[in-house]
Amino acid sequence: MFMSKKIIIGNWKMNPSSLMQAEDLFKSIQKNISSKIKTDIIICPPNIYLPSFAKTLAGKEKLKKIFLGAQNVSYEEKGAFTGEISAEMLKDIGVKYVILGHSERRMMGEDNFDINKKIKASLFAGLVPILCVGEKERDENHKYLNFIKNQIEECLNGVVKNSVSKIIIAYEPVWAIGKNAKREAIPKEFLEMSIFIRKILSDKFGVKSIKKTKVIYGGSVNPKNVLDFLKEGEADGFLVGRDSLNPKKFTEIIKICEA
């Protein structure tokens, strides 16, 4: 598993504050990426910057390993839904991936049933969903395992077997994220959770259906802990938040995965 091709996702969230800054950041990342790179790089900027980035990537062979991702999508196809963007719209401008169920979206009131509809809409449009799951805290009675199981089962309810391999699962322990993090997660904890997630998927869809499903880690990812999560945690890749806004650190993470 350690030798398999990795996926690195940069979630820029609501950053940076201008198109010029966003383009400079995007170009800085591009410059440090080799055309022979094997790792898939997915950049998820605010939706307003996606059309500009799509033009930059169009027809450039050197940038063929960089893909665009959105941070959210509507589950509605079209209609009177002010402020929403459909999966078809994202697909039309060159977006390939979409982050769904991020802990910050869940804190805004999004639930598993909303995410389930968004996953189905994304798959129907040809987008690759990046499903985020993770517990707010770890209890001694291991009730958090049932919490994760419930998240996965409800978010993937009704998804057909043939589509499961197209979904990326991002495990992000909420207690290890951001300024209020209690502590950093360790590779052993991710490995155990990755095995548990694959067991849930296997029970639901069958072993053959999930062979290509990737489970990545997201939670204060930085150049200092990436190698341990690759070796000891056997991560298929990373969902990078804060350090994806730092070209030097982000490309360092990529280089570690390549090496």
> How many helices (H) and strands (E) in the chain?
10, 8
Q: Is 172 part of the annotated catalytic residue set?
A: yes
Tell me how crowded residue 191 is: count the other CB atoms within 10 A of its CB: 18
- If you ran DSSP here, which 8-state letter would residue 126 be given? T
Please state, in angstroms and rounded to a whole number, the distance separating the CA atoms of residues 105 and 134: 12
- If you ran DSSP here, which 8-state letter would residue 43 be given? E
Please state, in angstroms and rounded to a whole number, the distance separating the CA atoms of residues 215 and 257: 15
Q: Is 102 part of the annotated catalytic residue set?
A: yes
* Secondary structure class of 99 (helix, strand, coil): strand
Please state, in angstroms and rounded to a whole number, the distance separating the CA atoms of residues 86 and 146: 32
Catalytic residue among 61, 88, 172, 252: 172
Catalytic residue among 23, 76, 77, 102: 102
Q: Are 62 and 38 in contact (CB under 8 A)?
A: no
Question: Could you list the active site residues?
Answer: 102, 172
